[in-house]
Structure 1
Amino acid sequence: MEDTWGIPGPTFVGIYLLGFSMALLFVFAVRILTRSGAAATTAPVQALSAQELACLTGGPRRVVEAAVAQLVDAGRLRASRDGYLEVADRSSGGTNPVERTVMADVARHGRRSIVMLTHRLAASDAVGEVAARLVGAGYLVDGELARRRKAIGMVPVVAVFTIGVVRWLDAIASGQPAGGLTAALAATGLIAYALYRQGVCARTFEGANAVGRARVSAPAELVAAGGFTSHPDEMIRESLSGRRGASPGGDSGCATEGSRRG
C-alpha cells in the first residue's frame, strides 16, 4: 500500500507539527507587530485623564464607570443600593462629553440602572471620542486594524490545518493508519480555535507603559484603574457595584479586541 503523497504517516505528522509551529510563530509575530507598530497621528497624551486611563484598563464600559464615579462624587448623581442612579443636581451637565452624555441619559429616564447605563453608553459617540484620541496617540490599537491583522495571522494556521485534514481523510479512505495524525489534528484544532477566540490586546505597548506610569488617587481615577469596586468610599462602592463587601477589581484592558474609532 502506497503512502499518501509518497510520505510515510509518521514523517507527515512530524512535518505537519513543524508547519503548524511555524504558523503559530507567524500569529504571535503579527500580534506583536500590531501592538507595537501603531503610528501616532497626534502628539502622545502627556497625562492620562481618568476616562483615558479607564479606556486603557477596562475598555469603553470602564470609561462610563469612571464618568459615573466622578458625577457621584461631585454630587450631580445619586447612587442607590439597588444599583440605580438618579440626578441629584441639575445645575451642571458635566465637565466633558462623556459626563454630559451620562447626565442626559439618567435625566431622560429619571431613574437609570447602572448596569444598563454602562452597557448602552459604552457605544456612544462620546466614549468613542476617548478611544479615538488614544488610537491617534498610539496608545490603543484601532479595532479595524486589529481584526484585519488577526485574520491575516490566522491564514497560515488554517492552511496547515486544512492540509492535515485532507491527508487524514485520504488516509481514512485508503485504510491507512491515522492514529498519530488524528491526535495531532485534535490538539492543533483546539489551539487554532483558542487563537481564533482570543482577541488582540487593545493596548499597544506604549499604552501599557502609559498605564504603568499613571498615578491614581482621586475616586474617579481609582475606578478608572479597577472598576466600581475600587472606589475608596465603602458606601458609594457598595451602591455602584451593587453588592456589599466587594473587593477591588483588576485590570481588564486586554479583554477586548481593539477599540473602535469615534
Structure 2
Amino acid sequence: MEDTWGMPGPTFIGIYLLGFSATLLFAFAVRIFTRTGAASTTAPIQALSAQELACLTGGPRRVVEAAVAQLVDTGQLRASRDGYLQVSQNGQHVRIRGGENPVERTIVADVARHGSRSISILTRRLAESDAVREVVARLVSAGYLVDDELAKRRKVISLVPAVVVFSAGVVRWLEGVADDRPVGWLTVLLIGSALIGFAMYRQAICPRTFEGANAVGRASVTAPAELVAAGGFTEHPDQVIRESLLGRRGSVSGENTEGSCKG
C-alpha cells in the first residue's frame, strides 16, 4: 500500500512542523505590521490629555474613569463611599458649566438626569458613548491606536495559512486512520496545533501602536486625573476620594490594555 500522497509519515511530519512554524511567523509578522500604525491626519497630538492617555492605557472605560476623577477633583461631581455620584450642589454654575469637554459634559448630564448614578454602571455604559468614541477616533487618526475593524481583519488574515496547513494535517490523519496506518505523532501535532491556533485566535491584536506606546512613555503623569488615566481609580492620590470612587468594588472597573499589550 502506497503512502498517502506518496510521502512517508516521518517526512510529512517534518514538512508539517516546518509549515506550521512558518505560519506562526507569518501571524506574528502581521500583528507587528498592524501595530506599526499609520497616521491619517496632518495634526499629530503634541501632548496627550488625561482622557487620551486613559484610552491608550486602559481603553474606553478608563476614559470615563479619568473624566470622573477630573470632575470630582474640580468639585463638579461628588462621590459617596457607596460608589455613587451626584452633581455637586456648590452652585448653579456647576450645572451650567457641566464639564470642560464632551466626555465630561456627557457624564455630568447623565448623573444630573438620574440624580444619583452608580460609578460602575456609569463607566460601563458611557464607555460606548459618542464622546468616548471621539477620543478613540482621534487617537486612531493620530496613529496611536489601531482601528478596531482593521485589527479584526488582520487577525483573521494572519491565521489563514495556519488553517490551511492544519487542514492538510487533518486530511492526512483521516486517510491514515482509514488505511489503518500509525497516526500517533500526527495526532499529537494536530492537537498541539489546534491549541496554539485557538490561543492566537483568542488573543486580540494589541490596540495600541508602537507610536502610541512611545506616546504613553513620554506622557507626564502628575495630576490626579492623569494618575487615574495611567492606572485607574486605585491610583488616585487622595485616599478618601479613592475609596469613594472605588466604592464597594475594591478594584478597577476599566479595561487594562497593558494586560494584553506589552510595549
Whether these two folds match at TM > 0.5 is yes
- 8 Å Cα contact 1:42/1:136 also seen in 2: no
The separation in 2 between residues aligned to 1:34 and 1:16, in whole angstroms, is 27
CA contact (8 A) 2:120 2:253 kept: no
Matches of 2:246 and 2:8, distance apart in 1: 60
Further displaced range: 3-12 or 206-215: 3-12
Give 3-state SS (helix, strand or coil) of 2:257's partner.
coil
Q: Does residue 37 of structure 2 align to residue 32 of structure 1?
A: no
1:223-242 equivalent positions in 2, closer than 5 A: 223-242=228-247
Tell me if the contact between 2:145 and 2:212 (Cα under 8 Å) persists in the aligned partners.
Answer: yes
Paired with 1:39 and 1:188, the residues of 2 have a C-alpha distance of 36
Is 1:157 the counterpart of 2:155? The answer is: no
Maintained 8 Å contact 2:83/2:247? yes
Q: Counterpart of 2:47?
A: 47
The residue number in structure 2 matching 1:260 is: none
Aligned residue in 1 for 2:83? 83
Unaligned residue ranges in structure 1 (runs of 5+): 258-262
CA contact 2:60–2:255 (8 Å) conserved in 1:
no
CA contact (8 A) 1:76 1:88 kept: yes
| 1:120 partnered with 2:125 | yes
Does the alignment pair 1:252 with 2:252? no
Closer, same or farther: CA 247–241 of 1 in aligned 2, 3 Å:
closer
CA gap of 1:253–1:83, structure 2 versus 1, over 3 A, is: same
Query: 1:39, 1:155 → 2: CA distance?
Result: 27
TM-score after normalising by structure 1: 0.93
The equivalent of 2:183 in structure 1 is 178
Counterpart selection for 1:206 from 205, 211, 225:
211
Of residues 111, 117, 139, the one that matches 2:144 is: 139
Q: Matched residue of 1:85: which SS? A: strand
Residue 57 (structure 1) aligned with residue 57 (structure 2)? yes
Instruction: Note the C-alpha offset of 1:38.
Output: 2.0
RMSD of aligned Cα (Å):
2.0
CA contact (8 A) 1:200 1:254 kept: no
Unaligned runs of 5+ in 2: 90-94
Deviation at 1:157, TM superposition (A): 1.0
Greater shift after overlay, 110-119 or 93-102?
A: 110-119
Kept in 1: contact 2:40–2:143 (CA 8 A): yes
Change (3 A) 1:92 1:231: same
* Partner deviation per Cα, 1:164-221 (whole Å, 9 max, x = no partner): 1111111111111000000001111100000000001111100000000001010000
Aligned length: 256
Task: Give the equivalent residue in structure 1 for 2:10.
Answer: 10
Residue 39 of structure 1: CA displacement? 3.4
The answer (yes or no) to whether the contact 2:144–2:212 under 8 Å persists in 1 is: yes
Letter in structure 2 aligned against 1:154: L
State percent identity of aligned pairs: 72
